[in-house]
Amino acid sequence: MVTVYVPSQLRKYCRGATRFPIAADTVQSALGVLEREHAALYRNLCDETGALRGHLNVFVNADHMRDLDGIDTTLAPGDEVTIVPAVSGG
């Protein structure tokens, strides 16, 4: 199991959940699980083509997904996947 952390701005799309334990071996498959089980959240993560929305960054543990293998980054049990939206307020 890996843990996917949901940022506060998107929790309204998954009944306030802060994290999900998910059985997935890549970032892509973790998003697939979210698409099936939390459709409203998924629609705010990915566009109609399935691409991650531009203002979102995904980190696997402390590393940016783009510094690893992108959406195909492999996940090991215990890994933490964190969705970090760009923030503009101040």
Partner 1 sequence: MSGAEAERYSRQVRFAPIGAAGQEAIDRASVGVVGLGALGGVMAEQLARAGVGALRLIDRDLVEFSNLHRQTLYDESDARRRLPKAVAAERRLKRINSRTAIQATVDDLNGSNVEGWLEGLDLVMDGLDNFETRFVLNDACRKARIPWIYTAAVGSYGLVMPVVPDGPCLRCVVGNMPAAGSSPTCDTAGVIAPATAALASVAVAAALRRLTGRLAGGDVRLASIDVWSLRFQTLRPEAELRRACPLCEGGRFDYLHTEPVRAITMCGRNAVQLIPGSRSELDLDTLGRSLEVFGPVESNEFLLRCAAEGFELTLFRDGRAIVRGTEEPSVARAVYSRMVGS
Q: Are 87 and 58 in contact (CB under 8 A)?
A: no
Structure tokens belonging to residue 86: 């760009």
Q: Which residues pair with residue 52 across a beta bridge?
A: 46
Cα 13 from Cα 9, distance rounded (Å) = 9
Instruction: Considering only residues 7 through 66, tell me which ones interact with partner 1, judged by CB under 8 A.
Output: 7-9, 18, 53-55, 57, 59, 62-64, 66
Residue from 23, 39, 51, 84 in contact with partner 1 (CB under 8 A): 84
Kindly state the number of chain residues that form the binding site for partner 1, as judged by CB under 8 A: 23
Coil, strand or helix at 58: strand
- Is the Cβ of residue 62 or residue 76 nearer to partner 1 in the bound state? 62
Q: In the complex, which residues of this chain contact partner 1 (CB under 8 A)?
A: 5, 7-9, 18, 53-55, 57, 59, 62-64, 66-67, 82, 84-90
